[in-house]
């Protein structure tokens, strides 16, 4: 397949491009580099052993999307391009809706117009809102806690309704849990701009001495050690989930959780990082972060049953590869 990967230079997109190349697919990356670097594309080519086509542009721009589909014979789309900071989305909701939702509308419309039958979308566990754990795909979704989350829910609905109206159009909504880690080569990984919001890149920067100490947001949650519990998934497992999703695409809308299926607390992740990498992580407890949920993790059985996919790499591999990438920067 010739796969259009929007946001292919980003954290999850870059790992997925490598997996696509390794699986024998061709890749067209469309990225505006608003949160990534050009040299990542060369690294993808090095790791994947083949070249990719790069189109630099904004997929929330109608003309860019039209040209992408006119100038490339595309068989499927994986739509990663999006802004992903929760606090930024609260401050700039319209920028988030424009970027994340308008891009989905334009890409879906172009697929219908050009007869492109497969669309895989990067959704998030945030669409479950505050719900019982583990999260199951058939649960009723609750209002997400941020404009960022609302853009994911809106995109899911737009794609679901489009698939219902267009016979043969195959939409796969992938709800990611917490991707961490990096490619074992250390060439690609998560390198956010500015001070990281997310836990793993914060830990690696503390380990490197770029930040002084980790703030653990909340130690009074109803969890075994009082700190927040999440379902961390190695980014290479997540990348492989996209190949499985593309290869099993069928008309209509399919929804899959991509997670490991088990919960890990903040302190457990810190402990694993220290033990595996032999580096101390100074930390202090801080108040709960507004909007955070105490604990959630995936029921990942549907992906295993229907896609033949499950997460293979454990927490030790995640923290090892995250640290290897940070030391390589």
Please say which residue, 214 or 226, places its beta carbon nearer to ligand NAD: 214
Cis status of the peptide bond prior to 145, with omega within 30 of 0: no
Q: Whole-number minimum distance, CB 114 to ligand UD1, in Å?
A: 30
Q: Say which entry of ligand UD1, ligand NAD, none residue 80 contacts (CB below 5 to 8 A, set by partner kind).
A: ligand NAD
d(CA 153, CA 158): 9
Q: Whole-number minimum distance, CB 1 to ligand NAD, in Å?
A: 20
Q: Identify the residue among 89, 103, 104, 223 touching ligand NAD (CB under 6 A).
A: 103
- With CB atoms as reference, the residue minimizing the distance to ligand NAD is 10
Q: Cα-flanking dihedrals φ and ψ of residue 232, to 5°? A: -85, 140
Please say which residue, 34 or 251, places its beta carbon nearer to ligand NAD: 34
| 77-85, 217-225, 268-276, 280-288 -> range binding ligand NAD (CB under 6 A) | 77-85
Q: Identify the residue among 3, 4, 13, 128 touching ligand NAD (CB under 6 A).
A: 13
Interface positions with ligand UD1 (CB under 6 A): 84, 86, 124, 126, 148-149, 178, 197-199, 202, 214-217, 228, 230, 266, 289, 291-292
Q: Cα-flanking dihedrals φ and ψ of residue 194, to 5°? A: 70, -160
193 Cβ partners below 8 Å, 6+ apart?
35
Please say which residue, 130 or 275, places its beta carbon nearer to ligand NAD: 130
Place of tokens 């997929």: 59
> Long-range contacts made by residues 57-64, C-beta under 8 angstroms, separation at least 24?
57/30, 57/32, 58/32, 59/6, 59/7, 59/30, 59/32, 59/103, 59/106, 59/107, 60/98, 60/99, 60/102, 60/103, 60/106, 61/106, 62/106, 64/30
Q: Whole-number minimum distance, CB 100 to ligand NAD, in Å?
A: 7
d(CA 316, CA 232): 11
Q: Say which entry of ligand NAD, ligand UD1, none residue 33 contacts (CB below 5 to 8 A, set by partner kind).
A: ligand NAD
Q: Whole-number minimum distance, CB 103 to ligand NAD, in Å?
A: 5
Q: Say which entry of ligand NAD, ligand UD1, none residue 291 contacts (CB below 5 to 8 A, set by partner kind).
A: ligand UD1
Alpha helices in 97-208 (DSSP H): 103-114, 147-165, 199-207
Please say which residue, 86 or 170, places its beta carbon nearer to ligand UD1: 86
User: Is 232 an interacting residue with respect to ligand NAD (CB under 6 A)?
Assistant: no
| CB-based contact 97:158 (threshold 8 Å) | no
Q: Is 156 helix (H, G, I), strand (E, B) or coil?
A: helix
Please say which residue, 69 or 202, places its beta carbon nearer to ligand UD1: 202
Q: Whole-number minimum distance, CB 179 to ligand NAD, in Å?
A: 5
| CB-based contact 163:251 (threshold 8 Å) | yes
């Amino acid at each position: 397949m010739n796969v259009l990967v929007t946001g292919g230079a980003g954290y999850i997109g870059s790992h997925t491009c490598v997996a696509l190349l390794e699986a024998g697919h061709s890749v067209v990356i469309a990225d505006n580099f608003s949160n990534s670097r050009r040299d990542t594309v060369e690294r993808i080519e090095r790791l994947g052993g083949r070249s990719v086509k790069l189109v630099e542009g904004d997929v929330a721009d109608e003309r860019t999307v039209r040209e992408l589909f006119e100038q490339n014979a595309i068989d499927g789309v994986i739509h990663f391009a999006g802004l992903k900071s929760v606090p930024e989305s609260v401050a700039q909701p319209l920028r988030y809706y424009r970027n994340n939702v308008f891009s989905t509308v334009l890409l879906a419309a172009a697929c219908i117009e050009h007869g492109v039958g497969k669309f895989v979308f990067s959704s998030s566990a945030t669409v479950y809102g505050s719900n019982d754990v583990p999260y199951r795909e058939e649960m009723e979704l609750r209002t997400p806690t941020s404009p960022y989350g609302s853009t994911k829910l809106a995109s899911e609905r737009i794609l679901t309704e489009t698939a219902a109206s267009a016979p043969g159009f195959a939409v796969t909504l992938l709800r990611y849990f917490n991707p961490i880690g990096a490619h074992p080569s250390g060439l690609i990984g998560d390198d956010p701009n500015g001070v990281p919001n997310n836990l793993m890149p914060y830990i690696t920067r503390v380990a490197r001495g770029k930040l002084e100490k980790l703030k653990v947001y909340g130690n009074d949650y109803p969890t075994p050690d009082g700190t927040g519990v999440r379902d961390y998934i190695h980014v290479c497992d997540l990348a492989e989930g996209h190949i499985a999703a593309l290869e099993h695409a069928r008309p209509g809308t399919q929804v899959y959780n991509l997670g490991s299926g088990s919960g890990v607390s903040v302190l457990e992740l810190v402990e694993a990082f220290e033990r595996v990498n032999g580096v101390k992580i100074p930390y202090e407890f801080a108040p709960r972060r507004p909007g955070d949920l105490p604990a959630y993790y995936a029921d990942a059985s549907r992906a295993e049953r229907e896609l033949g996919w499950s997460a293979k790499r454990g927490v030790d591999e995640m923290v090892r590869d995250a640290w290897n990438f940070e030391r390589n920067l």
